[in-house]
Amino acid sequence: MNNEPLLSVFDLGIATVQDPRTLVNSVSFHINSGEAVGVVGESGSGKTLSALTILGLLPRGVEVISGEIIFGGKNLLNLNSEELRQIRGNEIAMIYQDPMTALNPVMKLGKQLLEVIASHDGINTNSENQVRDLLSEVGIPDVNRAMESYAHEFSGGMRQRIMIAMALLLSPKLLIADEPTTALDVTIQQQILALVSDARKKRNMSMLWITHDLGVVANLVNRLNVMYAGRIVESGSVEEIFRKPKHPYTAGLLSSLPTSTGTNRERLTSISGVPEKPWLVGNSCGFAARCSRAQSRCHNEIPQLVSKEENSVACFFPLGSK
Amino acid sequence: MRNKEEKVKGALHYYLQSTSGVVGAVLVLLMVIVAFCSIFGITPYDPVEQHVENILQGPSTHFWFGTDEFGRDVFSRTLEGMRRSLTVSISAVTFAATLGVSFGILAGYVGKWFDQLVTRISDVFFAFPAILLALAIVASLGNDWHDTALAIGVVYTPIFIRVARGPVLTVKEMDYIKISRVLGFSSIRILRKHIFPNVFAPIVVQVALSLSWAILTESGLSFLGLGTQPPTPSLGLMVSEAQPLAAFAWWTLVFPSLFITIVVVGLNLVGDGLRDALDPARRSS
């Protein structure tokens, strides 16, 4: 076990090209080899953009303005497109939110999975078996028939399993999961979570799990980064964050989760107001407008992520402090 | 390849369910056979041979479609003309489809300045009336059949650029293309194996329709005296030559016109049939 993290993101900043609007600001986190890390945040908090930056697939009109992304000793931001392509799928793979449109409708499944191998290692006599094994590992019944079927013949849950198989096919070192369970119903969600969790442990694969649902990641990841308005506001071990959140936003998120111990008549708490646009925050804490603990300092200064005990938090008046 | 066979069988099955498709296919097949008769020389007479003793005879057992003002057999000439028309239009559409589809798909996929460039150039070509542009090109190139084919091909290329580019813009934003990129597929692989098959259907339909337009354009050019040159027959040229005779020798005009109509209607029906057979949404209904 070396101490070098598998992936480190330093001070990542992302902004639109025209009429520059900052979307992600000084985001830093790391993933050790074999570790699962979660990124939690609301829509528009910059979590998906950060993940796409790792893969070098930022949408048009958006660019990286600062920072580095070190993966396996190389800064991914300095690689050319062919070098990045070699890494994608092979060393870093990703599963997407919506499995319904994620498979090519006119290509048979077996062929589609073989495409992944063909675009990296090249197909050999064993490739088809490799695909079969993985399909049965992710729980596809009647693999032989499935290989000859088209995407529309599968349900959403099955398609997500197929997507996972596609991503795992070349045994990547890092799997990025962008809310892969949001489009599925709750029972299927649990099955997929268990599946990914098992597959990850079996391969000692690192994982970056992006979600807006704290409940999903609780049992899945080791460490958690909470993002708000384009910045990481709290970072630490899952246990610690769930037990005593320090940032008022994290606390708000947690208290808005339904608990199994509460009476069912209890109303869920919500955070008042709407999330601030990252580029409108300016020189203040992004959460200040919605925060009950905010004081004048919060409106005039950006809190930096500082380490207190195990967890770091970006707040001037964190919870649990005097 | 078993997979390919199955795919073809599946499409054929749906195609045969469409009435217009079947009728169109029969008509086109008939005209192709007609053209082949001429290729293998199975015409009753030499199409340019003049039977001076039989000038402007009506249809009879000797001359099925009658004879023209030089005593040439209209039936033989119609077969020969069909062959010319099909050769020119197939060559022209092959050229237009290959060039147009390649550029259209690339423009849609690459986007940015390349898309702008290709779209603008095809807009310029679109701005000219088809027949006028073809006329200008033929006039500057010459009168050989391949010059006519090239001229018609150039005129139809922008249509294929548009037909291919549009669906690519939609398909490239689909999740499965994004995932192909996420999983490190090369651009060439994405274009060839994931985008092209998904935009294939409208292109095939366009090919069938363009073939019929190309036949009309070729006939038009010949009619105007810039396509096939006499005495070699072409359907358009025959119609043009028959014009002053129409009042007293209707057969010289009617038969070549009829053949043009049959092949154009046939190809249009084939286009309809293909559209029905290749569109999954129509299939399921």
Q: Could you tell me the CATH number of the domain that includes residue B158?
A: 1.10.3720.10
* Partner-chain contact A108 B3, CB within 8 Å: yes
Q: How far apart are the CA of B155 and the nearest CA of chain A, in angstroms?
A: 31
Question: Rounded to a whole number, what is the distance in Å from the CA of B179 to chain A's nearest CA?
Answer: 7
Whether B217 contacts B130, CB under 8 Å: yes
Percent of chain B exceeding pLDDT 90 equals 25
Determine the average pLDDT of the residues in A59-72: 88
Q: Which of B168-177, B204-213, B223-232 has the lowest mean pLDDT?
A: B223-232
Which residue in chain A is spatially nearest to B6 when comparing CA positions?
Answer: A148
Question: Mean pLDDT across the stretch A173-198?
Answer: 87
Contact check, Cβ <8 Å, B182/A55: yes
The model's confidence at residue B6, banded by pLDDT at 50, 70 and 90, is low
Asked if A89's CB is within 8 angstroms of B184's CB, the reply is yes
User: Pick from B116, B128, B196, B191: which is nearest to B156 by CA?
Assistant: B128
State in Å, rounded, how far the first CA of chain B is from the last one.
29
Chain B residues closer than 8 Å to A98 by CB? 175
Beta-carbon separation of B175 and A119 below 8 A? no
A322 pLDDT more than 60: no
CA closest to B197 among chain A residues = A106
Give residues with Cβ within 8 angstroms of B62, minimum separation 6.
B54
**Bridge partners (DSSP) listed for residue A36:** A207
Is the pLDDT at A316 greater than 70? The verdict is yes
Range of weakest confidence among A147-161, B109-123, B153-167:
A147-161
Mean pLDDT of B167-191: 89
pLDDT mean across residues, chain A = 84
Cβ-defined contact of B182 to A103 (cutoff 8 Å): no
Rounded to an integer, the average pLDDT of B38-59 is: 80
- The confidence score (pLDDT) of residue A265 equals 64
- For residue A145, list chain B residues with Cβ-Cβ distance below 8 A: none
Q: Are strands A36-40 and A206-211 parallel, antiparallel or unpaired?
A: parallel
Residue B283 has pLDDT above 60, yes or no: no
Please tell me the distance from the alpha carbon of residue B55 to that of residue A57, in angstroms, as a whole number.
Answer: 75
E runs forming strands in chain A: 7-16, 22-31, 36-40, 62-71, 74-75, 92-95, 174-178, 206-211, 223-228, 231-237, 306-308, 311-313
- Taking contacts as CB-CB distances below 8 angstroms, the residues of chain A near B193 are 107, 115
Work out the percent of chain A whose per-residue pLDDT is above 70.
94
Tell me the per-residue pLDDT of A188-231, one tens digit each, with 9 for 90 and over. Answer: 888 888 898 899 989 899 999 998 888 888 888 888 998 888 88
pLDDT at B2 over 60: no
Chain B CB within 8 Å of residue A17 CB: no
How close does chain A come to B198, measured CA to CA in Å? 7
Q: Please tell me if residue A120 touches chain B, with a CB cutoff of 8 Å.
A: yes
Size of interface A-B (CB pairs under 8 A): 70
Q: Does A167 touch chain B (CB under 8 A)?
A: yes
Instruction: Tell me which long-range contacts B41-44 makes (C-beta under 8 A, separation of at least 24).
Output: B43/B73, B43/B75, B43/B76, B43/B79, B43/B80, B44/B73, B44/B75, B44/B76
A102 lies within 8 A of chain B by CB? yes
- Contact (Cβ atoms closer than 8 angstroms) between residue B135 and residue B226: yes
pLDDT of B98: 95
User: Which tokens belong to A202?
Assistant: 């079996």
What does the pLDDT look like over B154-163, one tens digit per residue?
999 999 999 9
Residues in chain B closer than 8 A to A93 (CB atoms): 182-183
Give the mean pLDDT of B3-26.
Answer: 78
Dihedral sign of CA atoms A168, A170, A172, A176 in order: negative
Mean pLDDT of chain B: 85
User: Is the distance from CB of A43 to CB of A212 less than 8 angstroms?
Assistant: yes
ipTM computed for the complex: 0.80
Shortest CA distance from A85: residue in chain B:
B184
Distance from CA of B123 to the nearest CA of A (A): 25
- Nearest chain B Cα distance for residue A103, angstroms: 5
CB contact under 8 A, A94 and B197: no
Judged by CB atoms closer than 8 Å, whether chains meet at B175 and A90 is answered as no
* Residue A1 pLDDT level (bands cut at 50, 70, 90): very low
Which pLDDT belongs to residue B285?
Answer: 40
State how many domains chain B has: 1
Residue A57 in contact with partner chain B when CB distance is under 8 A = yes
Residue B114 scores a pLDDT above 90: yes
d(CA B279, CA A270): 48
Query: Residues of B at the A interface (Cβ-Cβ below 8 Å)?
Result: 3, 111, 174-176, 178-186, 189, 193-194, 197-198, 200, 280
Q: Scanning every residue of chain A, which has its alpha carbon at the shortest distance from the alpha carbon of B174?
A: A101
Residue from B175, B195, B190 nearest A96 by CA: B175
CA A282 to chain CA centroid, Å, is 26
Distance separating alpha carbons of residues B45 and A172, to the nearest angstrom: 73
C-beta neighbour count of A304 within 10 angstroms:
12
CA-to-CA separations, B31 to B35, B111, B232, in angstroms, rounded: 6, 41, 19
Is there a contact between B189 and A119 if contact means CB atoms under 8 Å apart? yes
Instruction: Please tell me if residue A85 touches chain B, with a CB cutoff of 8 Å.
Output: yes
Chain centroid to CA A7: how far? 13
Average pLDDT over residues A238-244: 86
Domain containing residue B220: 2-284
| Interchain contact, B182 vs A89, CB within 8 Å | yes
Which of B176, B184, B197 lies at the smallest CB-CB distance from A85? B184
SS3 A10: strand
The pLDDT of B139-153, averaged and rounded, is 87
The pTM is what?
A: 0.78
> Cβ of A118 and B189 within 8 Å?
yes
Best of B182, B196, B278, B284 to substitute, by most chain A Cβ atoms within 10 angstroms, is B182
Min Cα separation A147/chain B (Å): 12
- Contact between B175 and A96 using a beta-carbon 8 Å cutoff: yes
Question: Cβ–Cβ of A93/B183 closer than 8 Å?
Answer: yes
Query: Which residue in A106, A134, A170 has the most chain B C-beta atoms within 10 A of its own C-beta, making it the best mutation to test that interface?
Result: A106
The confidence score (pLDDT) of residue B281 equals 55
Q: Which residue has the higher pLDDT, A154 or B227?
A: A154
A119 and chain B: CB distance < 8 Å anywhere?
yes
Work out the burial of residue B99: count CB atoms within 10 Å of its CB; fewer than 13 is exposed, 13-18 middle, 19 or more buried. middle
pLDDT at A267 over 80: no
Q: Is the pLDDT of residue A2 over 60?
A: no
